[in-house]
Structure 1
Amino acid sequence: MAGVPANLEDMLKDAHLPALLTAMVHITGDTGWLRPEWAPTYNPMDRADLGIPEERQAEARKAVAEAIRTHLGGKPLQMANPDTATLRRQMDFVAGAPIPEQYVDFLVDELTLDGRSTKDPQFEQPQLKAAARKLNVLVIGAGMSGLLAGIRLSQAGVPFQIVDKNADVGGTWFENTYPGCRVDNSNHMYSYSFEPNHLWPQHFSPQPVLLEYFRGIAAKYDLRKHIRFETLVESLAWDDGRAVWRATLNGKDGRTEIVEANAVITAVGQLNRPRMPDIPGLGSFEGPAFHSAEWRHDVDLKGKRVGVIGTGASAYQFVPEIAPEVASLTVFQRTPPWGLPVPHYHDDVPDNMKWVLEHVPYFDKWYRFYLFWMTTEGFLPMVKSDPAWTGPATAVGPENAMLREMATLSLQAQIADRPDLADKVIPQYPIGGKRAVLDNGVWIAALKRDNVSLVTDKVTEITAKGVRTADGVEHEFDVLIYGTGFQASNFLSFLKVKGRGGRDLHETWGGDAKAYLGMTVPGFPNFFITYGPNTNIVVNGSIIFFSECSVRYIVGCLKLLAESGARALEPKKAVHDDFNRRVDEANAGWAWGSPHVSSWYKNSFGRVSQNWPFGLIDYWRATLAPNPDDFVLEKTPEPVA
Structure 2
Amino acid sequence: MMSMIHMSGDASLLDGDIRPGGAYINEYQGYMSEQDKAAIRAQALEVICKFRDGGCQLPAQPDTATIHRMMNFLVAQEVPPEYLPMMLEEMELDGVDQRTDAWGPEVPVARREAHEVLIIGGGMSGLLAAIRLQEAGIPYVLIEKNASVGGTWFENRYPGARVDVSNHLYSYSFEPAHHWSQYFAQQPELQKYFEDVATNYQLLDNIRLNTEVTRASYDEQSGLWRVTTRDGAGAEECHEVNSVISAVGQLNRPRLPDIPGVDSFQGQWCHSADWDESIDCHGKRVVVVGAGASAFQIVPAIAAETAQLTVFQRTPPWMFENPVYHEEVPAGKKWCLQHLPFYTRWFRFLLFWCACDGAYETIIVDPDWPHQERSVNEMNDFVYQMFSDYIRGQVGDDPDLLQKVIPDYPPMGRRTLQDNGSWLGALKRDNVDLQTQGITAVTASGVIADDGSEVAADVIIYATGFRTDRFLWPMEIRGREGRLLSTTWATEPAAYLGITIPGFPNFYCMFGPGTNLAFGGSLVFNGECQVRYTMECLKLLLQSGEKTLECRDETLAAYQQRFREQHARLIWEHPRVHSFYQNAQGKVTLLWPWKIIDMWRWTKQVEASDYRLS
* TM-score, normalised via structure 1 length: 0.94
Find the residue that maps to 1:301 and give its secondary structure. Answer: coil
- Counterpart residue number, 1:431: 411
Counterpart AA for 2:490: G
For residues 164 and 523 of structure 1, do their structure 2 counterparts lie closer, same or farther at Cα, with a shift above 3 Å needed? same
- Map of 1:534-545 to 2, 5 A cutoff? 534-545=514-525
Q: Which deviates more, 369-378 or 191-200?
A: 369-378
Contact kept in structure 2, 1:292 and 1:481, CA below 8 Å:
yes
Counterpart AA for 2:522: S
Find the residue that maps to 2:505 and give its secondary structure. Answer: coil
Find the residue that maps to 2:355 and give its secondary structure. Answer: helix
Query: How far off is 1:46 after superposition?
Result: 5.4
1:133 and 2:113 are equivalent in the alignment? yes
Task: Note the residue ranges of structure 1 that are not aligned, 5 or more in a row.
Answer: 1-20, 635-641
- Counterpart residue number, 1:404: 384
Post-superposition Cα deviations, 1:389-436, rounded to whole Å, max 9, x if no partner, equal: 111411111111111111111111111143321100111111111111
- Counterpart residue number, 1:228: 208
In structure 2, what is the Cα distance between the partners aligned to 1:281 and 1:124? 60
- Counterpart residue number, 1:463: 443
Contact kept in structure 1, 2:24 and 2:75, CA below 8 Å:
no
Query: How far off is 1:286 after superposition?
Result: 2.5
Counterpart AA for 1:177: R
Counterpart AA for 1:499: G
Contact kept in structure 1, 2:268 and 2:458, CA below 8 Å:
yes
Contact kept in structure 2, 1:378 and 1:541, CA below 8 Å:
no
Query: How far off is 1:454 after superposition?
Result: 0.4
- Counterpart residue number, 1:393: 373
- Counterpart residue number, 2:468: 488
Contact kept in structure 1, 2:573 and 2:586, CA below 8 Å:
no
- Map of 1:532-571 to 2, 5 A cutoff? 532-571=512-551
Find the residue that maps to 1:323 and give its secondary structure. Answer: helix
Contact kept in structure 1, 2:144 and 2:210, CA below 8 Å:
yes
Find the residue that maps to 1:38 and give its secondary structure. Answer: coil
- Counterpart residue number, 1:211: 191
- Counterpart residue number, 1:7: none
- Counterpart residue number, 2:599: 619
In structure 2, what is the Cα distance between the partners aligned to 1:484 and 1:36? 52
- Map of 1:41-52 to 2, 5 A cutoff? 41-45=21-25, 47-52=27-32
Q: Which deviates more, 407-416 or 44-53?
A: 44-53
Query: How far off is 1:76 after superposition?
Result: 4.2
Post-superposition Cα deviations, 1:53-85, rounded to whole Å, max 9, x if no partner, equal: 332222222111110111122344444542222
- Counterpart residue number, 2:42: 62
Find the residue that maps to 1:34 and give its secondary structure. Answer: helix
Contact kept in structure 2, 1:45 and 1:341, CA below 8 Å:
no
- Map of 1:182-331 to 2, 5 A cutoff? 182-331=162-311
Find the residue that maps to 2:104 and give its secondary structure. Answer: coil
In structure 2, what is the Cα distance between the partners aligned to 1:80 and 1:157? 35
1:629 and 2:609 are equivalent in the alignment? yes
Contact kept in structure 2, 1:184 and 1:204, CA below 8 Å:
yes
In structure 2, what is the Cα distance between the partners aligned to 1:75 and 1:465? 70
Post-superposition Cα deviations, 1:231-263, rounded to whole Å, max 9, x if no partner, equal: 111100101011110001111221111111100
Find the residue that maps to 1:584 and give its secondary structure. Answer: helix
Counterpart AA for 1:351: A
- Counterpart residue number, 1:639: none
Q: Which deviates more, 131-140 or 346-355?
A: 131-140
% identical aligned pairs: 44
In structure 2, what is the Cα distance between the partners aligned to 1:52 and 1:598? 40
* TM-score, normalised via structure 2 length: 0.98
Contact kept in structure 1, 2:22 and 2:76, CA below 8 Å:
yes
Query: How far off is 1:284 after superposition?
Result: 2.5
Find the residue that maps to 1:324 and give its secondary structure. Answer: helix
Post-superposition Cα deviations, 1:216-244, rounded to whole Å, max 9, x if no partner, equal: 10110011000001111110010101111
In structure 2, what is the Cα distance between the partners aligned to 1:76 and 1:213? 29
* Count of aligned residue pairs for this structure pair: 614
Contact kept in structure 1, 2:107 and 2:539, CA below 8 Å:
no
Q: Which deviates more, 126-135 or 369-378?
A: 126-135
Contact kept in structure 2, 1:42 and 1:49, CA below 8 Å:
no
Query: How far off is 1:48 after superposition?
Result: 4.2
In structure 2, what is the Cα distance between the partners aligned to 1:52 and 1:299? 46
In structure 1, what is the Cα distance between the partners aligned to 2:455 and 2:20? 53
> 1:174 aligned to 154, 172, 181, which one?
154
1:97 and 2:77 are equivalent in the alignment? yes
Contact kept in structure 2, 1:118 and 1:624, CA below 8 Å:
no
Query: How far off is 1:339 after superposition?
Result: 0.8
Q: Which deviates more, 392-401 or 541-550?
A: 392-401
Find the residue that maps to 1:330 and give its secondary structure. Answer: strand
Counterpart AA for 2:118: L
Find the residue that maps to 1:376 and give its secondary structure. Answer: coil
- Counterpart residue number, 1:578: 558
Post-superposition Cα deviations, 1:303-356, rounded to whole Å, max 9, x if no partner, equal: 111111100100010111111111101111111011111111000000100001
In structure 1, what is the Cα distance between the partners aligned to 2:487 and 2:16? 60
In structure 1, what is the Cα distance between the partners aligned to 2:112 and 2:594? 33
